């Protein structure tokens, strides 16, 4: 009887796993802006809706929007210049750029669909407009690369396999660990792809992409000696990013 129950569990687990494998295969599509095949489970309109819905909450978590209109205008001008001089303008996304009041958290991020944020803590450390372009270009790269939508779809896939493993053979923990490591690796790849796109956007808009290396130095200094090792982080080590940025500059500057 016990062997029969195990067999039933294995069959159910296999059926669940097959469902999620077939679902993932049906969600494969080529990103027309990067040429990369991705797992995507939502439309661009859904990405835009998620971003617009989440933007007020994200701003609130960082002390709201910064009150200096001149600083905000600079962020808008640089962001729009990057969009209007690159393939980003041909996407369906609604790019909006927000300077957050947060004076302590050195960060910039993008929500699905085109909502881009930079904290005053990072903004205040930037030395010139080109470095600001480097930060915003990187975040535009995340939007155009559909990285959030891809991570959502991939997370759903690994959660499904974890469920299948738990039902079928008590292997949910192992599959979950494999999935987490895969998502971490993919996250680092997203950062490098966004750096590459950011370099391209900067060149197209007339900015000096070498200044993106300066941004990496700022982030490296901010992280200090106790920064998380690369294999435990969604972000590549700043030194590795600098090397890849230099390669991207060589690749794109003659295009």
3-state secondary structure 92-117: CCCCEEEEECCCCCCCEEECCCCEEE
| 158 vs 164: CA distance, rounded Å | 10
| 224 vs 40: CA distance, rounded Å | 36
| 185 vs 232: CA distance, rounded Å | 9
Q: Of 210, 241, 238, 214, which is closest to residue 224 (Cα–Cα)?
A: 238
3-state secondary structure of 38: strand
Q: Of 248, 204, 254, which is closest to residue 240 (Cα–Cα)?
A: 248
Q: Does 250 qualify as catalytic in the annotation?
A: no
The single residue of 47, 139, 193, 211 carrying the catalytic annotation is 139
Q: Which residues form the catalytic set?
A: 139
């Amino acid at each position: 009887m016990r062997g029969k129950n195990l067999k039933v569990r294995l069959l159910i687990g296999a059926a669940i796993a097959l469902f999620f494998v077939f679902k993932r295969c049906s969600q494969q599509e080529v990103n027309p802006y990067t040429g990369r095949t991705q797992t995507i489970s939502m439309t661009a309109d859904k990405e835009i809706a998620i971003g617009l819905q989440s933007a007020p909450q994200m701003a609130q978590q960082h002390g709201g929007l910064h009150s200096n209109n001149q600083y905000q205008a600079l962020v808008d001008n640089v962001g729009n210049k990057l969009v209007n001089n690159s393939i980003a303008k041909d996407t369906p996304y609604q790019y909006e750029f927000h300077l957050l009041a947060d004076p302590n958290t050195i960060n910039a991020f993008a929500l699905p669909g085109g909502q881009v944020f930079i904290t005053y803590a990072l903004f205040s450390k930037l030395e010139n407009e080109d470095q600001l372009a480097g930060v915003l270009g990187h975040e535009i790269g995340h939007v155009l690369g559909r990285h959030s939508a891809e991570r959502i779809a991939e997370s759903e896939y690994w959660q499904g396999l974890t469920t299948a493993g738990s039902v079928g053979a008590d292997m949910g923990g192992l599959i979950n660990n494999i999935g987490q490591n895969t998502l971490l690796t993919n996250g680092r790849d997203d950062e490098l792809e966004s750096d590459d796109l950011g370099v391209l956007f900067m060149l197209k808009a007339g900015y000096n992409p070498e200044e993106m290396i300066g941004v990496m130095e700022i982030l490296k200094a901010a992280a200090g000696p106790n920064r998380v090792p690369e294999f435990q982080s969604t972000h590549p080590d700043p030194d590795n990013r600098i090397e890849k940025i230099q390669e991207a500059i060589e690749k794109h500057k003659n295009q």
